[in-house]
């Protein structure tokens, strides 16, 4: 076995995380697999790199010598990747769930002379592909109040926009015409919740943890698109963001103010700063236009100044 860049990244992540379990989470690897990798790496380096204890891991004398060198190697490799994603290179861009048909063209339009390839996938899969280098950047959603995505993997992030989390209800429901619904009214509707792998599941669990809000749950869905089908066709309610909403469902705010963040995520050094700035500006502009099509969002934004800090002037008339 020869020492490769991926092995250097494993060692650096272990040193930064301070424990095998945390490093495994960052690298999206099973802990036994990471432990086996470390043993193989240590066979190549000729000695143990970390001392294991009940509180975590610390570098050995050999580890203290090699970790800075391996970190420099990883940084140089990332710089090479960044250079490779130059103006002539293809930008590989992933989006978690939210991909209106006009979004890829808007992203491509912000990168003249450069091919952009887009793919829709789950947040967890998107993060894994960024870490693994299969994607350059991804746009993922996650709750602002409840930590769920686990993006503590040495990744760089930029909040594109903060969104409210509302409730989607059938258009024929009595609460559909209201601007706000109380929990007691919402428990009269059957609900669909999200599977544990979806970030909304953590928000749902947090929302019901205090008691007093235990609606009937008919089904667990894999994502927003499926949830909207249940709202339209089965008369259920569900938590949703404006970017997850689709036509044919009503929207109401709830007693508890909840927010989600649409974030750009990338590996430091793997994407040029100018590319990140350009893409962030293009996505904010696109979201502002898209959000004006969501019922009640503009009026809500006017009543809650500061809720869209990234979209200056979004709620202004005209």
The pLDDT averaged over each successive group of 10 residues in the chain (318 residues) is 87 94 87 91 93 92 94 87 63 90 93 90 86 90 59 77 92 83 84 91 80 83 94 94 91 82 89 91 93 88 82 69
Can you give the pLDDT at residue 282? 95
Can you give the pLDDT at residue 182? 79
Can you give the pLDDT at residue 212? 65
Can you give the pLDDT at residue 158? 92
Can you give the pLDDT at residue 306? 79
Can you give the pLDDT at residue 149? 47
Cβ neighbours of residue 24 closer than 8 Å, sequence gap 6 or more: 30, 31, 33, 34
163: Cα separation from own chain's centroid: 13
182: Cα separation from own chain's centroid: 29
Q: Residue holding tokens 């929207």?
A: 251
pTM of the model: 0.70
Q: Is 46 left (phi over 0), alpha (psi -120 to 50) or beta?
A: left
- For the stretch 70-102, pLDDT in tens is 999 998 888 877 666 554 478 999 999 888 899
- For the stretch 50-78, pLDDT in tens is 999 988 999 999 999 999 999 999 988 88
> Hey, what are 307's tokens?
């809720």
What is the rounded (10 degree) CA torsion for 218, 222, 224, 227?
Answer: -20
Domains of the chain, each with CATH number or no CATH: 5-84 (1.10.10.10), 91-155+262-293 (3.40.190.10), 166-257 (3.40.190.10)
Rounded to an integer, what distance in angstroms lies between the CA atom of residue 69 and that of residue 79? 15
């Amino acid at each position: 076995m020869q020492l490769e860049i991926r092995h250097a990244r494993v060692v650096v992540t272990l040193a930064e995380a301070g424990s095998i379990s945390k490093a495994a989470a960052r690298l999206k690897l099973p802990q036994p697999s990471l432990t086996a990798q470390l043993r193989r790496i240590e066979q190549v380096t000729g000695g143990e790199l970390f001392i294991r204890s009940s509180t975590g891991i610390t570098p050995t004398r050999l580890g203290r010598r090699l970790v800075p060198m391996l970190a420099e190697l990883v940084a140089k490799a990332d710089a090479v990747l960044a250079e490779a994603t130059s103006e002539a290179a293809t930008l590989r861009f992933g989006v978690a769930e939210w991909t209106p048909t006009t979004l890829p063209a808007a992203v491509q339009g912000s990168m003249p002379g450069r091919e952009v390839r887009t793919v829709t996938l789950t947040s967890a899969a998107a993060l894994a592909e960024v870490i693994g280098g299969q994607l350059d950047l991804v746009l993922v959603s996650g709750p602002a109040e409840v930590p769920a995505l686990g993006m503590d993997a040495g990744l760089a992030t930029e909040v594109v926009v903060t969104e409210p989390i509302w409730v989607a209800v059938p258009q024929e429901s009595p609460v559909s015409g209201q601007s706000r619904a109380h929990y007691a009214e919402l428990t009269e509707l059957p609900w669909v919740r999200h599977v544990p792998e979806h970030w909304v599941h953590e928000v749902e669990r947090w929302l019901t943890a205090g008691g007093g809000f235990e609606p009937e749950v008919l089904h667990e869905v894999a994502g927003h698109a499926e949830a909207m089908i249940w709202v339209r066709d089965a008369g259920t309610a569900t938590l949703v963001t404006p970017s997850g909403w689709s036509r044919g469902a009503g929207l109401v705010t709830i007693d508890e103010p909840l927010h989600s963040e649409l974030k750009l995520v990338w590996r430091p050094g793997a994407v040029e700063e100018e590319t990140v700035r350009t893409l962030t500006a293009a996505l904010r502009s696109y979201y502002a236009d898209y959000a004006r099509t969501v019922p009640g969002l503009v009026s809500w934004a006017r009543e809650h100044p500061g809720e869209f800090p990234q979209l200056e002037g979004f709620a202004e008339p005209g």
